[in-house]
Amino acid sequence: MAKLNPRLAVYPGTFDPLTMGHVSLIRRGLKVFDTIILAVAESTPKKTLLSIGERVALAKEVFRGDEDRIIVDPFDSLLIDYVEKKGAGSILRGLRAVSDFEYEFQMALMNRKLEQDIETVFLMTDFKWMYLSSTIVKEVAQFGGEIRGLVPGPVVKALGSKYGFNFTRSGKSR
């Protein structure tokens, strides 16, 4: 195995869509790591609203000014193989609540079994985003509910387009 960079982390997920909780976690992760690869999963048991191309493009647009520290990259393989291929020493994961812990703990242990030299680092979600999930955002957007402030601007526009709403400062319109 090639030498792993302990200052490089991979933050994997579907990011369908990218939320302000994800953005917050990445920004906070940059206090710990020099570079974070936002690894957008192509294969997922979840039914995605946005295509892999749309999710990657939106993330690149959101983090455009941080191109040297935040790398957006799609992946379609076993996560631990992807992390090793990229030379990252860590997997970054966020925890919102105790309910997230059991699943994340199992995944971290399996990844550790597969590759002992790659660490999983957990950051607690900022308290103001603890309730937020991509699923909740999609449900609210589907019915024209207010999503500004929950997702970055480009995502607001993309979800409005998907669901046939034009979210404006004064509210929504069809």
Catalytic residue (choose from 55, 93, 96, 138): 96
Per the residue annotation, which of 22, 86, 93, 138 is the catalytic one? 22
User: Catalytic: which of 7, 46, 85, 128?
Assistant: 46
Find the catalytic residue in 55, 90, 93, 134.
Answer: 134
What's the CA gap between 154 and 134, in Å, rounded?
Answer: 15
With 0-12 CB in 10 A as exposed, 13-18 as middle and 19+ as buried, what is 130?
middle
Note whether 154 and 58 are within 8 A (CB): yes
Q: Distance between CA atoms of 134 and 17, rounded to whole angstroms? A: 6
Distances (CA, A) of 21 to 70, 79, 89, 95, 114: 16, 21, 23, 10, 29
> 29: buried, middle or exposed (CB in 10 Å: 19+, 13-18, 0-12)?
buried
Is residue 27 annotated as part of the catalytic site, yes or no? no
Q: Is 96 noted as a catalytic residue in this protein? A: yes
Whose structure tokens read 């000014």? 65
Catalytic residue numbers read 22, 46, 96, 134
